[in-house]
């Protein structure tokens, strides 16, 4: 670039120089020779004229000529012309001198014309020299500019391109990439900085990689040592890791399991199918799976596992939304608890069964005691017998509730479903609770329209449920109140509702009252907290539904819906 600049200056200087030389040449011709020709012509034109004016003009032009002597020999000729003119002016000579003067003027003209010719040749030569040098410098300028034009863009663009490629590779974590520019160019510095950056990144990456590898091994060991089976799936449900426990229960080899898509494994493996079913259908029924643990043959026996699905989502760097990157299935082995639960259920079943006989015999003995044929009881003894009877009845209710619960827990609800008259079932329940209601002066308001369809239900169990609901209504109602019992039918369904105006249930406990052994805190009335649980199980086992609506302090309405006979 510097050289090009120098040559352009040279070109400018040479151009201006030569133009100046040529200008002075032409000026020279104009001043020195052309003026002499003009004077000579003026003198010639006055030569044949003898007038005073002509002599003056001649005199003036001759003076100018005398001041404009430029050529060799011009001076002598001018002096001769002056002498002859002086002679002519003095009148000492006749007109014969005029041809001599004319000759001299012609000589002057010729001398100057030769001068013009010479100088014009000189100017031509100057122009040629100027042409030569300007052409040479111009060509050099063009050559340099052309070379720059060809080489400069590539010499700038190539390193940038190379640098760009390298940056791209580095961003793809190929840290071994280096750039190689000539070290003396400006890019050399850049390349040095870039390479040192890449080297540091490589070092950093290697040290991080080693750390990550250790961390990965640690986590793998941790997962492998877990007693519970753990399976990791990516977002496309491909198995990315599984611990030994998980591999053991699937019955597959490590290679056949890890790295395979769970969807295709599910085609041949029942266990995997049931594990990923909800992920494949995107329905998250963890609650259901907790309630019904998976039964898997493991450790040489039937084992129970509770499945927990964790959906792993992250917010990628620079993004706003969370994206799911995989799922972890943890199967918690609950066999031990299940076994304990079975033992407890069996124990309760046995105990309550064993209790039934002595309680029945207590009741029979009480009946005998009440019999006047055996002997009269005084008032105090009668009171005692009555309270023993109440307690025995309560015990019988509790044992029958516990026995029902054991049926529910072991999943052995024995139903005998057949067409039944809903009004008849309600009557059984009303009769069973009549005495209890009378004790609190509570009245029933029964609304039972004529011509109700028959329902598809287990007579005894439905009557038991209604008895339990009415009994609850009585227990949690105030004395002298009314309990509204009604049966309605709509859309192939029959609805029993038990409405009381008692204390009601506060909203936070509404969903919990159907849980096992749950009693609203602070409930002082006797009870086990099992009645509603059993009721729900009995009704749902018949394909029905039990719901509650309650306003705290104003009463509750329990509704049982069952299917009518089609």
400 touches ligand ADP by CB under 6 A: no
Q: Among residues 439 and 523, whose Cβ is nearest to ligand ADP?
A: 523
- Binding ligand ADP (rule: CB under 6 A), the pick from 392, 505, 539, 562 is 505
CB of 546 to ligand ADP, least distance (A): 11
Closest residue (Cβ) to ligand ADP?
A: 527
519 touches ligand ADP by CB under 6 A: yes
Strand intervals (E) in 372-434? 418-420
CB of 284 to ligand ADP, least distance (A): 29
Query: How is residue 80 written in tokens?
Result: 């001769």
Q: Among residues 133 and 484, whose Cβ is nearest to ligand ADP?
A: 484
Q: Among residues 34 and 518, whose Cβ is nearest to ligand ADP?
A: 518
Binding mask 201-240 for ligand ADP (x = CB under 6 A): ----------------------------------------
For 177-225, give the DSSP string.
------TTSHHHHHHHHHHHHHHHHHHHHHHHHHHHHHHHHHHHHHHHT
Q: Which stretch binds ligand ADP (CB under 6 A): 37-45, 137-145, 271-279, 503-511?
A: 503-511
CA distance 444 to 438: 10
- Binding ligand ADP (rule: CB under 6 A), the pick from 141, 513, 546, 560 is 513
539 touches ligand ADP by CB under 6 A: no
CA distance 55 to 51: 7
Binding mask 433-472 for ligand ADP (x = CB under 6 A): ---------------------------------------x
CA distance 531 to 464: 10
CA distance 12 to 133: 11
Pairing of strands 555-563, 443-447: unpaired
Residues in binding contact with ligand ADP, number by CB under 6 A: 21
395 touches ligand ADP by CB under 6 A: no
CB of 431 to ligand ADP, least distance (A): 19
528 touches ligand ADP by CB under 6 A: yes
Q: Which stretch binds ligand ADP (CB under 6 A): 23-31, 41-49, 322-330, 497-505?
A: 497-505
- Binding ligand ADP (rule: CB under 6 A), the pick from 115, 159, 293, 531 is 531
CA distance 477 to 77: 161
Pairing of strands 301-314, 323-333: antiparallel
Side-chain-facing half-sphere of 282: CA atoms under 13 Å: 3
529 touches ligand ADP by CB under 6 A: yes
Pairing of strands 418-420, 323-333: unpaired
408 touches ligand ADP by CB under 6 A: no
Residue 216 and residue 224 in contact, taking contact as beta carbons nearer than 8 Å: no
Pairing of strands 555-563, 545-551: antiparallel
Interactions with ligand ADP, residue window 115-174 (CB under 6 A): none
CA distance 153 to 71: 60
CB of 368 to ligand ADP, least distance (A): 31
Pairing of strands 493-499, 555-563: antiparallel
532 touches ligand ADP by CB under 6 A: yes
Q: Among residues 380 and 479, whose Cβ is nearest to ligand ADP?
A: 479
For 456, list phi and psi in degrees, rounded to 5. -95, 95
CA distance 198 to 179: 10
Q: Among residues 298 and 437, whose Cβ is nearest to ligand ADP?
A: 437
- Give Cβ neighbours of residue 519 (< 8 Å, ≥ 6 apart): 527, 529
Closest to 274 in 3D by CA, of 265, 282, 264, 266: 266
Q: Which stretch binds ligand ADP (CB under 6 A): 173-181, 410-418, 433-441, 515-523?
A: 515-523
Strand partners, 304: 295
Q: Among residues 484 and 518, whose Cβ is nearest to ligand ADP?
A: 518
520 touches ligand ADP by CB under 6 A: yes
Which parts of this chain interact with ligand ADP (CB under 6 A)? 472-473, 476, 500, 502-505, 513, 518-520, 523, 527-533, 556
């Amino acid at each position: 670039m510097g050289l090009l600049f120098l040559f352009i200056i040279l070109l400018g200087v040479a151009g201006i120089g030569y133009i100046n030389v040529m200008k002075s040449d032409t000026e020279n011709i104009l001043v020195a020779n052309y003026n002499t020709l003009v004077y000579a012509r003026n003198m010639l034109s006055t030569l044949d004229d003898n007038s005073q004016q002509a002599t003056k003009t001649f005199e003036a032009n001759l003076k100018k000529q005398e001041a404009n002597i430029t050529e060799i020999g011009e001076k002598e000729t001018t002096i001769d012309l002056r002498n002859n003119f002086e002679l002519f002016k003095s009148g000492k000579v006749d007109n014969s001198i005029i041809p001599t003067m004319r000759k001299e003027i012609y000589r002057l003209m010729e001398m100057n014309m030769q001068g013009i010719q010479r100088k014009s040749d000189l100017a031509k030569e100057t122009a040629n020299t100027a042409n030569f040098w300007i052409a040479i410098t111009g060509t050099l300028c063009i050559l340099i500019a052309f070379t720059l034009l060809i080489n400069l863009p590539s010499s700038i663009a190539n390193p940038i391109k190379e640098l760009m490629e390298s940056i791209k590779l580095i961003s793809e974590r190929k840290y071994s990439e280096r750039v190689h520019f000539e070290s003396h160019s400006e890019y050399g510095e850049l390349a040095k900085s870039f390479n040192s950056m890449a080297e540091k990144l490589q070092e950093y990456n290697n040290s991080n990689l080693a750390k990550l590898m250790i961390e990965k091994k640690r986590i793998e060991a941790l997962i492998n040592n877990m007693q519970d089976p753990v399976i990791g799936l990516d977002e496309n449900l491909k198995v990315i890791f599984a611990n030994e426990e998980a591999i053991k229960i699937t019955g597959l080899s490590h290679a056949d399991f890890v790295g395979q898509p769970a969807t295709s494994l599910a085609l041949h493996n029942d266990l995997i199918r049931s594990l990923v079913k909800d992920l494949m259908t995107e329905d998250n029924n963890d609650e259901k799976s907790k309630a019904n643990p998976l039964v898997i043959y493991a450790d040489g026996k039937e084992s129970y596992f509770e499945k927990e699905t964790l959906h792993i989502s992250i917010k990628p760097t620079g993004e706003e939304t969370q994206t799911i990157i995989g799922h972890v299935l943890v199967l918690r082995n609950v066999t031990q608890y299940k076994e304990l639960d079975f033992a407890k259920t069996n124990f309760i079943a046995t105990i309550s069964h064993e209790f039934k006989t002595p309680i029945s015999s207590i009741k029979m003995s009480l009946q005998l005691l009440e019999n006047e044929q055996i002997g009269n009881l005084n008032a105090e003894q009668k009171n005692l017998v009555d309270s023993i009877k109440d307690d025995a009845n309560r015990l019988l209710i509790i044992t029958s509730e516990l026995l029902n619960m054991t049926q529910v827990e072991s999943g052995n609800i024995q139903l005998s479903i057949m067409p039944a008259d809903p009004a008849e079932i309600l009557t059984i329940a009303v009769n069973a609770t009549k005495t209890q209601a009378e004790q609190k002066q509570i009245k029933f308001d029964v609304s039972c329209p004529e011509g109700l369809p028959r329902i598809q239900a287990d007579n005894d169990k439905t009557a038991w449920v209604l008895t339990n609901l009415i009994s609850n209504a009585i227990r949690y109602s105030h004395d002298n109140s009314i309990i509204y019992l009604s049966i309605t039918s709509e859309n192939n369904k029959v609805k029993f509702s038990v409405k009381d105006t008692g204390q009601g249930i506060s909203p936070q406990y509404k969903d919990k009252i159907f849980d096992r052994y749950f009693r609203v805190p602070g409930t002082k009335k006797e009870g086990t907290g099992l009645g509603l649980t059993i009721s729900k199980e009995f009704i749902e086992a018949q394909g029905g539904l039990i719901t509650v609506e309650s306003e705290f302090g104003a009463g509750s309405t329990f509704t049982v819906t069952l299917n009518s006979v089609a």
